[in-house]
Structure formats: C-alpha cells, structure tokens
Amino acid sequence: MIKITSDSTCDLSPELLSSLDITLLPLHIVVDGDDYRDSVDITPEDIVNFVEKEKKRCQTTAVNTFEYQEFFSQFAPNYEAVIHFNIGSQFSSCHQNAKLAAADFDNVYVVNSQNLSTGQGHVVLEAAYMAKEGISAQEIVEKLDMLIPCVDASFVIDKLDYLHKGGRCSGLEAFGARLLQIKPCIEVIDGKMVVGKKYRGSLERSLEQYVKDRLVEKDNIDYSRIFITHCMCSEQMVEKVRDAVNAYANFEEILITTAGCTITTHCGPNTLGILCKRTEKKQL
C-alpha cells in the first residue's frame, strides 16, 4: 500500500481526508511570538480575531526538517511507499526541508505541488485515487509531473489589508484598493502568485464576473472536478458562486472547501477561489 500525506495547505475537507486516508502535517502560525499549528490549535476565525480585534501580527512558518523526519518515520516502515505533497516551493521552504528529511528514507517521495490551497489539493486527490487503483509510487509521481502545470488556481481577495500586513503589498496599494473598491484576482502561474484582473464594486458582483471570466469561452477546461474554496464567506455567497459555476460550465463534481489558516493569514476573510484543471498548461 502507498500512504499519501500532505502539508496542511492543501485545504481538503475532513471528509475527503478521512475517506482517502490522507494525513496532513500542519504548518506553523506565529502570533506575536506564540507558535500554533495550522487548524490544530488555531483556526481561521482565531486569526481574524487576533488581527482585527487584538491587533496582533500573524505569520506563517515552514515545517522544519526534523518535523518532517519524525512525520515520515511514522509511515515509511509500514507502507510500500509514502508520497508527500508540499505547498509550492516558491511560497515556502517546506519542500526544501521535506526533501532533506526524505533523504533518510528509501521509500519516501516528496512532490512540489507548485501551488497552494486546493490547487495543491487537486494534485493530492489525484495521487490518492491512483494509489487506490494500485498504481506504483514511481508511476504516480511521473503522472503528477504532467498534471501539476495544468492546475488552474486563482482567488479573488476582498481587501488587501492582510497582504499588506504580510509585506506582500504596500500600504498605499491597500488604501487605494479600499477607496476604489478593487477586488484583485490572484493567480498561480508557473508556481508563482501573479495579479490578474482587478474587479471593481461589491464582492458579490466581482465574484460573479470572476467566475464568468474563468469559465466562459475556455476550450481547455477539464470538467471532471472544480473546487470552490473560501475563507469565511457567507453560505449565501458560496451558493451564488456555485450557481454561477453551474450556469457557465458543467462539471462532474463541485467540491466546496474552506481555506485553512495559511490562506487566511495572507489573504484574510471573504477570499474565494474556483480551482480546476486544464487539459494543457496555462501560460502567462
């Protein structure tokens, strides 16, 4: 048997994790010097409370090599192979640390998802399904090399305050976005975050246009699965996005998941993305 594991940043639901026996290793969230584990002893709601009410600074930190060694040692002796998935290497040093740790084992494969949230989640799921089919670890990893560049991940961010606090945009940019009601779309392309289209107006209207832009008149969409992943959006807003997805495309499966503490720390509440796969690599 092959064991599938992942950094907590894949944002898969507890139901999916349980049904496919996927085990997560949490990243760290540091709040004014106090260390917490992503979605273990801190929640997205806690982060928003720390930032907005207590005015504390929240940061994410990578899993270190020793933690990966300890984690892999739980599974490597009991499975034919372990395949572990990291958040993209350009977002964190997790992948580098996991690779160093994996060198101590002859049956641990470490995969750079080149993505985050359920962009990473797509890759983890595909590996879990292949493992259930009895495909070898080496073949799974080779197939994933072709899949990873085809994952289409993007989010619309309600406000830039959290990106500003994390040093990813200037105070002037955040102020201007608030003043002009700009909702930027952040895309992951070639393992990097880039700013795409900037929407104007209410979040609800921006999200409807965003869904249309991502799905209409696109001839390379893989319609097998799409994630709607959000951070503390209302049920009504999520349902409206689901309705929009159904109006513009016909996916076999729509999975709704909530973003974990890593996305919350950097993007804040009312962040929402639709994440699917393409039949060919997305280009800049």
Question: pLDDT tens-digit profile of 166-195?
Answer: 544 433 343 334 434 689 898 999 998 888
Question: pLDDT tens-digit profile of 95-105?
Answer: 999 999 999 99
Q: Are residues 168 and 271 in the same domain?
A: yes
| Residue of 190, 9, 142, 156 lying closest to 85 (CA atoms) | 9
| Residue of 259, 275, 265 lying closest to 9 (CA atoms) | 259
Question: pLDDT tens-digit profile of 214-248?
Answer: 999 887 999 999 999 999 999 999 999 999 999 99
Q: How is residue 63 annotated by DSSP?
A: P
Question: pLDDT tens-digit profile of 147-171?
Answer: 999 999 999 999 876 764 554 443 3
Q: Is residue 213 situated within a structural domain?
A: yes
| Residue of 187, 278, 202 lying closest to 234 (CA atoms) | 202
Q: In the chain, what percentage of residues exceed pLDDT 90?
A: 80
Domain harbouring 199, CATH code: 3.30.1180.10
What pLDDT does 201 receive? 87
Name beta bridge partners: 273. 229
What pLDDT does 77 receive? 97
pTM of the model: 0.92
For residues 260 and 49, give the distance between their C-alpha atoms in angstroms, rounded to a whole number. 15
Last residue of a domain, one of 99, 131, 148: 148
What pLDDT does 130 receive? 98
- Inter-residue contact 65 to 90 (CB < 8 Å): no
Last residue of a domain, one of 113, 128, 148: 148
Last residue of a domain, one of 148, 163, 195: 148
Q: Is residue 27 situated within a structural domain?
A: yes
Q: Are residues 238 and 225 in the same domain?
A: yes
Q: Is residue 255 situated within a structural domain?
A: yes
What pLDDT does 219 receive? 78
Q: Is residue 19 situated within a structural domain?
A: yes
Tell me: pLDDT of 250 over 90. yes
* Structural domain harbouring 214: 150-278
What pLDDT does 180 receive? 41
Q: Is residue 48 situated within a structural domain?
A: yes
Q: Is residue 35 situated within a structural domain?
A: yes
For residues 149 and 25, give the distance between their C-alpha atoms in angstroms, rounded to a whole number. 24
Q: How confident is the model at residue 35 (pLDDT cuts 50, 70, 90)?
A: very high
Q: Are residues 160 and 135 in the same domain?
A: no
Q: Are residues 17 and 63 in the same domain?
A: yes
- Inter-residue contact 85 to 123 (CB < 8 Å): yes
3 state SS of 180? helix
What pLDDT does 163 receive? 61
| Residue of 244, 257, 264, 70 lying closest to 165 (CA atoms) | 264
Question: pLDDT tens-digit profile of 110-140?
Answer: 999 999 999 999 999 999 999 999 999 999 9
Q: Are residues 90 and 136 in the same domain?
A: yes
What pLDDT does 160 receive? 74
Total number of domains in the chain: 2
Q: Is residue 283 situated within a structural domain?
A: no
For residues 92 and 29, give the distance between their C-alpha atoms in angstroms, rounded to a whole number. 13
Q: Are residues 16 and 141 in the same domain?
A: yes
Q: Is residue 284 situated within a structural domain?
A: no
